[in-house]
């Protein structure tokens, strides 16, 4: 799976967010491309972010950087770790949900 942006390692950490738990990438609705964060999207894309509507939260749009498994938005929002490899996600990412999701 191709991930765009200022990636610093093979678990999708970027120059903006690179703690041990920063291991997810988000498929942006507007361009159907995975980025580690909104800042990477802003730096790379030539358009504004389009948020995922609630009725599409069953779409595969989250990539676990640890095991490369795609999760639905609902799966991601209901857990703090990957259901496939149990890698822990950064719980502080929830503060950015309004940027990505309606």
The token duo for 67 is 């095991």
**H or E element: which one contains 53?**
none
- Looking at residue 70, what is its pLDDT? 98
41 Cβ contact list (under 8 Å, min separation 6):
4, 5, 28, 31, 33, 35, 49
- Looking at residue 15, what is its pLDDT? 98
- Looking at residue 98, what is its pLDDT? 97
List alpha helices for 45-88, DSSP H. 73-77
| Contacts of 94-97 spanning 24+ positions with Cβ under 8 A | 96/37, 96/38
- CA pseudo-torsion sign 32, 37, 43, 47: positive
Query: For residue 100, what pLDDT band results from cuts at 50, 70 and 90?
Result: very high
pLDDT in tens, 33-90: 999 999 999 999 999 999 999 999 999 999 999 999 999 999 999 999 999 999 999 9
Domain ranges of the chain: 24-100
- Looking at residue 86, what is its pLDDT? 98
- Looking at residue 28, what is its pLDDT? 98
């Amino acid at each position: 799976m191709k991930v765009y942006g200022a990636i610093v390692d093979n678990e999708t950490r970027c120059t903006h967010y690179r703690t041990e738990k920063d291991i997810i990438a988000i498929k942006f609705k507007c361009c159907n491309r995975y980025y580690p964060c909104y800042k990477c999207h802003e730096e790379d894309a030539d358009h504004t972010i389009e948020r995922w509507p609630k009725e599409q939260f069953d779409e595969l749009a989250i990539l676990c950087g640890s095991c490369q498994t795609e999760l639905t938005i609902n799966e991601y929002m209901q857990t703090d770790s990957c259901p496939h490899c149990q890698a822990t996600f950064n719980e502080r990412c929830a503060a950015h949900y309004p940027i990505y999701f309606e």
